[in-house]
């Protein structure tokens, strides 16, 4: 356990004055996970509420105990409406991480932990609901609709709604239409510099699928995969094959945080937030998705080296102290880059590290994505990785690492990102 007076988990807050206010995760909750478009009987918002209630039930708490809500990346499920619909007595704290996409999952938890430790709130629920089947999907939105009968549409000029849209306006005319294309370029460069191979990425995909086979919640749990299956899958954007790319899903999950003092009165095992860090490299912008004007060492990385350095310093740990890892896996190749940035292997050595069997359960040196990850359990913008980290330290994972006391959880590589170190109490 970290001593009194340590910094708050966000990596920059004031010193914590009392050990009793250390932030702990005391509850986790999930809805069912389904493939894109698979949930038609509940709205994305309904699923968010369902996940929050499930997490509170797991913690042995109720909505009457909650005074804070947190999420990330422009969550569509507004905390103020949720507070009203859940019947919270008072909403004292609400936050949204600015970090884009899956980069903010761990940041949202760290922000909640800071609120707990500074006294801004006593019980904070972090949630994410993502129903890709109920909203716009790339290639199926305004301007890309199938031809319809009737008079032709009148062309018009539309102002970009965000800085990201403005940035990608310079790359899309050259064919960079989507994340698989953008990050395929990063992996091509990594292959050129370091000799990384498709087989190295295949080890990530196959290992993750094997973990999912034991997980009844995993969307791909009933679909075993061999390396031959991996190489037989169609090419999406070279070098990424279909099984290098994360799932598209409907579902939601949530985690509940409170003080260590209050956690001691609950029946469920609590997991301490040992440290958290978030941020981005100088000049990184939105990452390689919209920016190629950066140093080669940064371009061929997860963009997380400074976040990693601050995380380990705040936790007082080194990579070798970690028992299990839940590493954001929107693309298999970016797991290799995250392993490098967080110090589990040297620059350019992520591929051989994965090929060595290090990520496998139960015998790997660093069992990774033991729930199946975004590649094989579900793509819920990485908050389900936090849920699995908590399960590991409670001893309830379907691929339980024996005696696990520490877990690294990372958010998306290739964008401004965040990470957590969780510890068993």
54 touches 149 (CB < 8 A): no
Residues 6 or more apart whose CB falls under 8 angstroms from that of 82 comprise 45, 48, 49, 52, 69, 127
pLDDT reading at 399 higher than 50: yes
22 touches 115 (CB < 8 A): no
Residue 341: how many CB atoms within 10 A of its CB? 23
Q: What is the band of 157 on the pLDDT scale with cuts at 50, 70, 90?
A: very low
Look at residues 6, 50, 5 and name the one whose alpha carbon lies nearest to residue 29.
50
Q: What is the band of 254 on the pLDDT scale with cuts at 50, 70, 90?
A: very high
pLDDT value at residue 217: 97
326 touches 389 (CB < 8 A): yes
Per-residue pLDDT tens for 80-132? 999 999 999 999 999 999 999 899 999 999 999 999 999 999 999 999 999 98
Catalytic residue among 93, 230, 289, 328: 328
Average pLDDT over residues 279-288: 92
314 touches 321 (CB < 8 A): no
pLDDT reading at 182 higher than 50: yes
In the chain, DSSP finds a helix count (H) and a strand count (E) of: 14, 12
pLDDT reading at 178 higher than 80: yes
Per-residue pLDDT tens for 40-71? 999 999 999 999 999 999 999 999 999 999 99
Per-residue pLDDT tens for 335-387? 999 999 999 999 999 999 999 999 999 999 999 999 999 999 999 999 999 99
Q: What is the band of 262 on the pLDDT scale with cuts at 50, 70, 90?
A: very high
pLDDT reading at 145 higher than 80: no
d(CA 112, CA 70): 7
Containing 386, the helix (H) or strand (E) segment is helix 383-394
Q: Topology of domain 19-134+246-424, per CATH?
A: Peroxisomal Thiolase; Chain A, domain 1 (3.40.47)
| Known catalytic membership, residue 299 | no
pLDDT value at residue 353: 98
d(CA 73, CA 144): 24
d(CA 423, CA 276): 12
pLDDT value at residue 111: 98
Q: What is the band of 136 on the pLDDT scale with cuts at 50, 70, 90?
A: low
| Known catalytic membership, residue 379 | yes
Buried b (16+ CB within 10 A) or exposed e, 180-217: bbbbbbbbbbbbeebebebebbbbbbbbbbbbbbbbeb
Catalytic residue among 33, 93, 299, 379: 379
pLDDT reading at 161 higher than 70: no
3 state DSSP class of 400: coil
Q: What is the band of 26 on the pLDDT scale with cuts at 50, 70, 90?
A: very high
d(CA 256, CA 56): 7
Average pLDDT, the chain: 90
pLDDT reading at 411 higher than 70: yes
Containing 420, the helix (H) or strand (E) segment is strand 417-424
pLDDT reading at 245 higher than 60: yes
d(CA 246, CA 420): 21
d(CA 314, CA 2): 10
Per-residue pLDDT tens for 9-24? 654 433 344 577 999 9
pLDDT reading at 222 higher than 80: yes
**For the chain, domain boundaries:** 19-134+246-424
| Orientation of helix 79-86 relative to helix 44-59, angle to 10° | 60
| Orientation of helix 332-341 relative to helix 179-194, angle to 10° | 60
């Amino acid at each position: 356990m970290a001593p009194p007076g340590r910094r708050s988990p966000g990596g920059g807050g004031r010193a914590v004055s009392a050990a009793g206010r250390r932030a702990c995760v005391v509850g986790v909750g999930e809805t069912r996970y389904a493939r894109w478009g698979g949930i038609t009987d509940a709205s994305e918002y309904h699923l968010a509420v369902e996940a929050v209630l499930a997490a509170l039930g797991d913690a042995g708490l109720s909505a009457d105990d909650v005074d804070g809500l947190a999420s990330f990346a422009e969550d569509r499920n507004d905390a103020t409406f949720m507070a009203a619909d859940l019947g919270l007595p008072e909403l004292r704290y609400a936050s949204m991480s600015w970090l884009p996409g899956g980069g903010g999952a761990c940041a949202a938890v760290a922000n909640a932990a800071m609120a707990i430790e500074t006294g801004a709130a006593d019980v904070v629920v972090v949630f994410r609901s993502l129903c890709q089947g109920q909203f716009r999907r790339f290639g199926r939105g305004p301007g890309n609709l199938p031809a319809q009968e009737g008079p032709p549409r009148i062309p018009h000029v539309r102002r970009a709604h965000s800085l990201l849209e403005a940035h990608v306006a310079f790359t899309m005319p050259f064919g960079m239409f989507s994340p698989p294309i953008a990050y395929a370029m990063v992996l091509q460069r990594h292959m050129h510099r370091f000799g990384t191979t498709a087989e190295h990425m295949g080890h990530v995909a196959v290992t993750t699928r094997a973990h999912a086979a034991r997980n009844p919640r995993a969307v791909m749990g009933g679909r075993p995969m061999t390396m031959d299956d991996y190489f037989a899958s169609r090419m999406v954007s070279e070098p990424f094959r279909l099984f290098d790319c994360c799932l598209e899903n409907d579902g939601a999950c949530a985690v509940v945080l409170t003080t260590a003092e209050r956690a001691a009165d609950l029946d469920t095992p609590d997991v301490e937030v040992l440290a958290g860090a978030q941020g981005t490299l100088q000049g990184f912008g939105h990452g390689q998705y919209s920016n190629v004007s950066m140093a080669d060492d940064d371009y061929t990385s997860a963009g997380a080296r400074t976040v990693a350095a601050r995380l380990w310093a705040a936790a007082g740990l080194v990579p070798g102290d970690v028992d299990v890892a839940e590493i954001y896996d929107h693309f298999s190749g970016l797991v290799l880059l995250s392993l490098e940035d967080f110090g589990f292997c040297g620059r350019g050595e992520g591929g051989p590290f994965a090929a060595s069997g290090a990520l496998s359960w139960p015998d790997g040196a660093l069992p990774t994505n033991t729930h199946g990850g975004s590649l094989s359990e579900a793509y819920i913008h990485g908050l389900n990785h936090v849920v699995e980290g908590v399960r590991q330290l409670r001893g309830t994972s379907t691929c339980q690492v024996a005696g696990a006391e520490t877990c690294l959880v990372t958010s998306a590589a290739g964008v401004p990102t965040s990470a957590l170190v969780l510890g068993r109490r």
